[in-house]
Every structure is written in structure tokens, then in C-alpha cells.
Amino acid sequence: MTTKSSVTERNSLNLDRYVPALVTALANKLGAGASSCYRKHFGVGVVDWRILAMLAVESDISANRICEVTALDKAATSRALKQLEENGDVEFSKDKQDARRILIRLTPKGKALHDQVLKVALRREALLLADFSDEELDIFIDLLHRMKARLDVVNGYDPASEGG
């Protein structure tokens, strides 16, 4: 039975209401499904897709910028970028203002791949959100942004500071 609490009568988590578990399960299943679909049809995984999507929004950026915006880890980003470069989907160049910095951009082949995957990604999103009204979707997106804005507070929480 679902209660209004994230804790059951037995002092254990109510996984139907514990938001971190719900968000994590949703993200994991969406990511795995996307990766499977994109690999099958386009030869790229979800990490590759997130990089392609980021580079379509913002070109000539560093790998650090990709990590910062997408929340991908540096090792996964580096491996994906290497593969995307080998496939001819991205290219690297030195920053004209700072020769130590390497900038990344989509190639025409990478842009075409992005455009193909984008159609599928948007269709998957539409299927996911089909039961939401426009108003519900606006509220949901607002709530997600508000939760994202609290991440520094949540991740900075130290139980030792409460003395208990």
C-alpha cells in the first residue's frame, strides 16, 4: 500500500514514494533502453548520443565543457570522443586563443548522425510523456529544474554536522 511517506511502518524505504530511487530507476531504464536502441540502429550508445547532442547545441567546446553540461564522467567522455573521432563523427582542433586547449565539433557526418538519432530520441520522449497534458508537462519540467537546483545542497549534506 502506498502511503504519503518515504518510510514504511517497518522503518524501511517505501520504494513507491522514495524520490531518489524512482528518479534513479527511471534514468537507468531510460538510458539502457536508449543505448540499446541507438546501438542497434545507429551504432552509437547513449553516451555517444549525449555528446553528439551537446555538440549540436554548442560547437567548438572542450571535453571538460561536455562533462560539465552533460554530467558525464571524464573517462566515459574520453572513450566516447575517441570512438566518435575514429568513426569520423567529431573532429578536434587547437583553440586559437589557447593552444593548450583542444576544441571539439561535429563533422558533417556527425551532424547527419545527430539528426537521425534526434528523430528517434524525440519519438521516444513523446512515447514516454504521452499520458501528460501540456500543463502537467510544464509542471513536471519545472519540478525537475527545482530538484536539479537543490543538488549542491543535497550533495553537500554531511550527517556528522547534525551531531547525531
Q: What is the pLDDT along the chain (164 residues), one digit of tens a residue?
A: 344 778 777 788 988 999 999 999 999 999 999 999 999 999 999 999 999 999 999 999 999 999 999 999 999 999 999 999 999 999 999 988 888 899 999 999 999 999 999 999 999 999 999 999 999 999 999 999 999 999 999 999 999 988 65
Cell of 26: 527511471
134: left (phi over 0), alpha (psi -120 to 50) or beta: alpha
Range of the domain at 78: 17-128
The reply to whether 41 falls in a domain is yes
In a domain, 58, yes or no: yes
**pLDDT value of position 154:** 95
d(CA 54, CA 37): 19
8 in a structural domain: no
In total, how many domains does the chain have?
A: 1
CA 143, CA 137: separation in Å to the nearest integer? 10
Residue 48 within any structural domain of the chain? yes
Would residue 79 count as lying in a domain? Answer: yes
pLDDT at 33: 97
What's the rounded Cα separation, in Å, for the pair 107 and 17?
A: 44
Asked if residue 164 is part of any domain, the answer here is no
Answer yes or no: is 109 within a domain: yes
In a domain, residue 54? The reply is: yes
Task: State pTM to two decimals.
Answer: 0.86
